[in-house]
Amino acid sequence: MTSRNQQLFEKSQQLIPGGVNSPVRAFRSVGGTPIFFKKGLGSRLWDADGKEYIDYINSWGPMILGHAHPEVIAAVQQAAANSLSFGAPTGLELEMAELINKLVPSMEQVRLVSSGTEATMSAIRVARGFTKRNKIIKFEGCYHGHADALLVKAGSGLLTFGEPSSAGVPPEVAAHTLTLDYNNTQMLKDTFSSIGDEIACVILEPVVGNMNLIVPHQEFLQTLRELCTKHGTVLIFDEVMTGFRVALGGAQALYGITPDMTTLGKVIGGGLPVGAFGGRKDIMSVLAPLGPVYQAGTLSGNPVAVTAGLTTLKLIQAPGFYDQLTAQTAKLMDGLKQAAQKAGVTFSAQSVGGMFGLYFSASNPTSYAEMMQADKTAFNKFFHSMLDSGIYLGPSAFEAGFVSAAHTDADIEQTVQAATSAFAGL
């Protein structure tokens, strides 16, 4: 019999390019038919055929509390009853800005948008307007959304398809983007020594989640901060993924590095579309209506989406929340590594807060080049074995995974048991 997932995918391909609305969902990297979901509750998902899964994607990070948290759902229902949108200021926007500033003090002023791509695109525009420079630096394998200037040697879905950049991006736009090696401190020094005074900003994922999970070297982050300060370059931490995921104050709190600007998304929407960018007040003052840098959005600060985010941010401040989330994620990693070792499979894994990375390599990669050496074929086989066992991982060897507060010891035990069988099959 043809499954409901297959039926939906066949029909979707007639009306939606590739049958999906975001490329990695198509399963092109791992093969097979994408899963169409209809329900989520806590740590679990149910697909169109009614099959149940333990979810380690969590909508790519936002569902830090788990799916359909009752307090978030109740708050959203109440907000929706007052209207879905105003296109005008609300007190909720101010409440969100105050809370972000409290939790991430480097964001002295904040502007809300509707996606992470909007946030990073706008932050770079502000940095260029503030410095009156054009050149920007990003790092190979880091993905900052699908804005033209950032689709140069990017990660996430572009790595999945083996494409270092995107068609449709004019060469003259990409020409202003310099791409360096992540965690390569000497390359940083050499680049700034050569053209430091021409660089408007440096943008990076302080913990990379878009070429799988890559952890930064402390020296790399510290050197970057010092060079940006010396040359008047705006340092942007893209914490769309890491914000409130690796620690309450984000990666910048975890590593003790203060950026000039920060972009947020995912968790601050609680599952609905919210993004934000912010930073030093003097930098943010170049934004319209105060300054010459224009940015706008009809649904920016949408009351229903902001309500979901506010409720989520309030709940994650509970005492011990991050200690428990970090411990559960580490417990999962330890279980998987032990299972692989018993099976004699070359495998490594690591986690930061509620984010994790799985690699079919002898050690945890620290750069794009090292990540490319991991065994993608082994991952694909592992992915499908886990999927068959009801464990939903990211359908790409180049994506980080996520644990939520709803994941129990029983969930982790079931996952490790499934992995034990999967490793044996390798």
| pLDDT single digits (tens) 74-83 | 999 999 999 9
- Rounded to 5 degrees, what angle do the CA atoms 402, 259, 57 make? 10
Contacts of 115 (CB under 8 A, 6+ apart): 145, 265, 273, 275
Dist. CA 360–CA 379, nearest whole Å: 7
Domain termination residue (choose one: 268, 290, 315): 315
Catalytic residues: 143, 238, 266
Question: In the predicted model, what is the mean pLDDT of residues 6-10?
Answer: 95
Task: Note the pLDDT of residue 146.
Answer: 81
Dist. CA 391–CA 54, nearest whole Å: 5
Q: Is the pLDDT of residue 122 over 70?
A: yes
Q: Are residues 154 and 198 in the same domain?
A: yes
Q: Could you report the per-residue pLDDT of 153-163, keeping only the tens digit for each?
A: 654 443 333 33
Mean pLDDT rounded to a whole number for the chain: 94
Q: What's the CATH code of the domain at 30?
A: 3.90.1150.10
Q: Could you report the per-residue pLDDT of 213-255, keeping only the tens digit for each?
A: 999 999 999 999 999 999 999 999 999 999 999 999 999 999 9
Q: Is the pLDDT of residue 125 over 80?
A: yes
Q: Could you report the per-residue pLDDT of 37-46, keeping only the tens digit for each?
A: 999 999 999 9
Provide the whole-model pTM. Answer: 0.94
Q: Which structural domain, as residue segments, surrounds residue 177?
A: 70-315
**Residue 258: CB atoms within 10 Å:** 16
Q: Are residues 300 and 336 in the same domain?
A: no
Q: Could you report the per-residue pLDDT of 354-387, keeping only the tens digit for each?
A: 999 999 999 999 999 999 999 999 999 999 999 9
Q: Is the pLDDT of residue 164 over 60?
A: no
Q: Are residues 128 and 202 in the same domain?
A: yes
Domain termination residue (choose one: 248, 283, 315): 315
Q: Are residues 305 and 282 in the same domain?
A: yes
Is residue 373 a contact partner of residue 361, using CB atoms and an 8 Å limit? yes
Q: Could you report the per-residue pLDDT of 258-278, keeping only the tens digit for each?
A: 999 999 999 999 999 999 999
Domain count, the chain: 2
Question: In the predicted model, what is the mean pLDDT of residues 175-197?
Answer: 93
Q: Are residues 118 and 55 in the same domain?
A: no
Cross-sheet strand order for the sheet of 355-359 = 348-352, 355-359, 401-402
